[in-house]
């Protein structure tokens, strides 16, 4: 009987699959022991591991998954079961996005629609689900503090990058198209635009901007929060991303005006004075760089204006008929390859109905803030609206912004950022080594 022979490539692939499964199992066991450690490690990966570090899946190995998304899936698995989950309209909107994208693969340009469905799942949905589930196991303000600490580290590293002119993360090379796309440093007006591990200065700037309201709502000492926020503002400035700087300013101003949790009057005054002083110092630097950039900066703004012509190509539901895939695999809408507006890109890939639903959801978030009921995460999302209109969700920014959206939805269900695990109607979760809490005894005489 002839022995079964296994080819070298097949054996190598089988070994890789086995090692991958073993690694996932080990990671699950380790992260399962502490929800806080699991979320903290994921935040560190988001901020310190470039998007080009990942792995390929599928029969042909052409489905790329960044390690941040892979670990997010493991963390999500460790958070289940959580407290009682309440389905919301926001959850319905995300489900609508997935269903429409899935249906589009059968009724429209299947190749283009499948690409959007995979991107939606790998980058958007995993971040959203993690943000929705994490507060059911972890105190929401602890999560805010973890975001503040890790992004304070990111800010310091970005400032060092600007001063030294060296980005250490691009030395983490990978033999894949992601590195070729995002592993190139950017300059504006001859000045390095810091990008850290985020692969693009806009992605770094917008993520730092989202971290500001969350940091201010954490339980860290007031002076620590203020120093962290100032560092984030300086680092955002050194990205020389206009929309990143605008989002950071909006997030800070709305936090000073509308954020209730953890914001004393003294801290509001100190932040106002500190940010005003920082503006006086940094504004001349921004102005000099943008002036030196000249046509490059104005050209990118004009290009975003040209994208408005694509609105007329949107279908009620599904991918626009103008979508096509070129011979080299690039996706075009008409003559446009880069769609620098997530709102327009959503309308082109999901349809007008999906776009209108998202706009309505954003308007509802604005109203929550104006009436004084918006959480820190909701403020962080609303401050990103200019970015949604002028930037596509790229690299880790795409995952992190949907994580913040998930936090925003969950936080609006629990006024005052209470721990969901202790909120009325939620059962207490026990982890290995923990004890059943002592029953509370009423002080009222009977």
Torsion sign across C-alpha atoms 222, 40, 142, 375: positive
pLDDT tens, position by position, 60-79: 657 889 999 999 999 999 88
Angle at 230 between CA 226 and CA 232, to 5 degrees: 115
Distance CA 225, CA 155 (A): 13
Tokens of 53: 């570090």
* β-pairing verdict for 63-66 and 186-188: unpaired
| Stretch 342-370: mean pLDDT | 93
pTM of the model: 0.87
Tokens of 371: 């009436």
Which of the 8 DSSP states describes residue 168? G
pLDDT for 446 beyond 50: no
Distance CA 73, CA 125 (A): 10
Tokens of 32: 């399962």
* CB distance 359 to 310 below 8 Å: no
| Stretch 248-266: mean pLDDT | 91
pLDDT tens, position by position, 382-393: 999 999 999 999
Residue 109's Cβ-side half-sphere holds a number of Cα atoms within 13 Å equal to: 20
Q: In terms of Cα–Cα distance, which of 148, 121, 111, 143 is closest to 35? A: 143
Radius of gyration of the chain from its Cα atoms, rounded to whole angstroms: 23
Q: What is the pLDDT of residue 113?
A: 82
* CB distance 400 to 207 below 8 Å: yes
**Which range, of 130-134, 274-278, 316-320, 439-443, averages the lowest pLDDT?**
439-443
pLDDT for 344 beyond 50: yes
pLDDT tens, position by position, 267-285: 999 999 988 898 888 888 8
Q: What is the pLDDT of residue 440?
A: 40
Q: In terms of Cα–Cα distance, which of 440, 384, 375, 369 is closest to 409? A: 375
Dihedrals phi, psi of 55, to nearest 5 degrees: -150, 155
pLDDT for 436 beyond 60: no
Tokens of 170: 């691009």
Average pLDDT across the chain, whole number? 84
Q: In terms of Cα–Cα distance, which of 282, 236, 260 is closest to 373? A: 260
Q: Where are the beta strands (DSSP E) in 189-285?
A: 191-193
Q: Where are the beta strands (DSSP E) in 112-269?
A: 186-188, 191-193
């Amino acid at each position: 009987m002839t022995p079964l022979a296994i080819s070298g490539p097949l054996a190598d692939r089988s070994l890789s699959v086995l090692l991958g499964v073993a690694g996932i199992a080990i990671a699950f066991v380790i992260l399962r022991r502490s929800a806080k450690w699991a979320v903290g490690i994921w935040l560190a990966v988001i901020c310190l591991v470039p998007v080009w570090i990942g792995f390929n899946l599928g029969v042909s190995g052409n489905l790329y998954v960044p390690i941040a998304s892979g670990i997010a899936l493991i963390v999500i698995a460790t958070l289940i079961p959580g407290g009682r989950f309440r389905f919301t309209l926001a959850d319905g909107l995300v489900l609508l996005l997935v269903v429409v994208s899935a249906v589009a693969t059968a009724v429209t340009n299947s190749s283009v629609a499948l690409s959007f469905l995979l991107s939606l799942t790998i980058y958007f949905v995993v971040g959203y689900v993690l943000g929705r589930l994490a507060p059911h196991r972890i105190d929401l303000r602890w999560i805010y503090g973890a975001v503040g600490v890790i992004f304070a580290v990111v800010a310091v590293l970005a400032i060092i990058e600007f001063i030294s002119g060296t980005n250490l993360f691009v030395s983490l090379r990978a033999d894949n198209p992601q590195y070729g796309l995002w592993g190139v440093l950017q300059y504006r007006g001859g000045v390095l635009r810091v990008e850290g591990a985020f692969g693009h200065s806009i992605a770094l700037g917008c993520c730092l901007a989202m971290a500001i309201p969350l940091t201010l709502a954490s339980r860290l000492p007031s002076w620590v929060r203020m120093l962290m926020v100032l560092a984030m503002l300086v680092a955002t400035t050194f990205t020389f991303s206009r929309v990143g700087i605008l989002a950071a300013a909006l997030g800070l101003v709305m936090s000073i005006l509308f954020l209730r949790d953890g914001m004393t009057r003294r801290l509001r005054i100190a932040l106002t004075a500190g940010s005003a002083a920082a503006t006086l110092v940094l504004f001349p630097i921004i102005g000099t760089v943008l002036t030196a950039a000249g046509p490059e900066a104005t050209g990118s703004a004009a290009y975003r204006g040209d994208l408005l012509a694509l609105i007329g190509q949107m279908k009620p539901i599904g991918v626009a008929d103008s979508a096509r895939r070129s011979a080299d695999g690039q996706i075009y809408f008409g003559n446009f390859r880069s769609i620098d507006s997530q709102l327009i890109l959503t309308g082109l890939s999901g349809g007008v109905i999906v776009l209108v639903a998202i706009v309505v959801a954003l308007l509802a978030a604005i109203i929550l803030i104006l009436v004084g009921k918006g959480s820190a995460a909701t403020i962080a999302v609303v401050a990103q609206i200019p970015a949604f209109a002028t930037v596509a969700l790229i690299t880790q920014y795409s995952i992190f912004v949907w994580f913040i959206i998930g936090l925003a939805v969950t936080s609006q269900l629990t006024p005052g950022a209470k721990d969901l695990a202790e909120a009325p109607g939620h059962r207490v979760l026990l982890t290995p080594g923990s004890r059943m809490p002592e029953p509370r005894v009423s002080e009222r005489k009977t």
